[in-house]
Amino acid sequence: MHIGLLIYDSLDVISGGYLYDRQLVHSLRAVGHRVEIVALPWRNYGRHLTDNFSAPLLMRLLNSRFDLLLQDELNHPSLAWINPRLREKVRYPLISIVHHLRSSESHPRSLLPFYRWVEQRYLNSVDGFIYNSQTTCATVTNLLHAAKPYQIAYPAADHHHPPSTAEIDVMIKERIQSQGSLQLLFVGNVIARKGLHTVLQALAQVPRHLWQLHVMGSLTSDRRYTTYIQQLIHRSSLADQVTLYGSCTDAQIVDRYRRCHLYVAPAFEGFGIAYLEAMSFGLPVIASTAGAAHEIVTDGVDGYLVAPTDTTTLAAHIITLCHNRAHLCAMSIAARQRYDRHPTWQTSFAPVVQWLTNY
Number of other CB atoms surrounding residue 177 within 10 Å? 9
In contact, 132 and 154? CB cutoff 8 Å: yes
Residue 294: which of 317, 270, 316, 310 has the closest Cα? Answer: 270
Amino acid at 8: Y
pLDDT tens digits, 319-339: 999 999 999 999 999 999 999
Whether domain 2-156+344-357 has CATH 3.40.50.2000: the reply is: yes
Contact 234, 205 (CB under 8 A): no
pLDDT of residue 105: 86
Q: What is the pLDDT of residues 186-239, one digit of tens each?
A: 999 999 989 999 999 999 999 999 999 999 999 999 999 999 999 999 999 999
Specify the DSSP element, H or E, that contains 323.
helix 311-323
| Pairing outcome for strands 211-216 and 242-246 | parallel
- 3-state SS assignment for residue 284: coil
The identity of residue 329, as a single letter, is C
Report the percent of the chain where pLDDT is more than 70: 100
Judge if 2-156+344-357 and 158-341 fold alike in CATH terms. Answer: yes
* Strand stretches in 188-271, DSSP E: 211-216, 242-246, 262-264
The answer to whether residue 168 scores a pLDDT higher than 80 is: yes
Confidence of residue 299 (pLDDT cuts 50, 70, 90): very high
pLDDT of residue 284: 98
Q: Where are the domains of the chain?
A: 2-156+344-357, 158-341
The domain over range 158-341 is classified in CATH as 3.10.50.40: no
DSSP run (H or E) holding 4: strand 2-8
**Tens digit of each residue's pLDDT (9 = 90 or more) over 109-163:** 899 999 999 999 999 999 999 999 999 999 999 999 999 999 999 999 999 899 9
Task: Reply yes or no on whether the pLDDT at 106 is more than 90.
Answer: no
Q: pLDDT tens-digit profile of 13-51?
A: 888 899 999 999 999 999 999 999 999 999 999 999 999
CB-based contacts of 106, cutoff 8 Å, min separation 6: 192, 193, 268
pLDDT tens, 228-276? 999 999 999 999 999 999 999 989 999 999 999 999 999 889 999 999 9
pTM of the model as a whole: 0.93
Please tell me the predicted confidence (pLDDT) of residue 103: 92
> What order do you get walking across the sheet with 128-131 strand by strand?
34-40, 2-8, 68-72, 94-98, 128-131, 150-152
Cross-strand pairs, 285: 263, 303
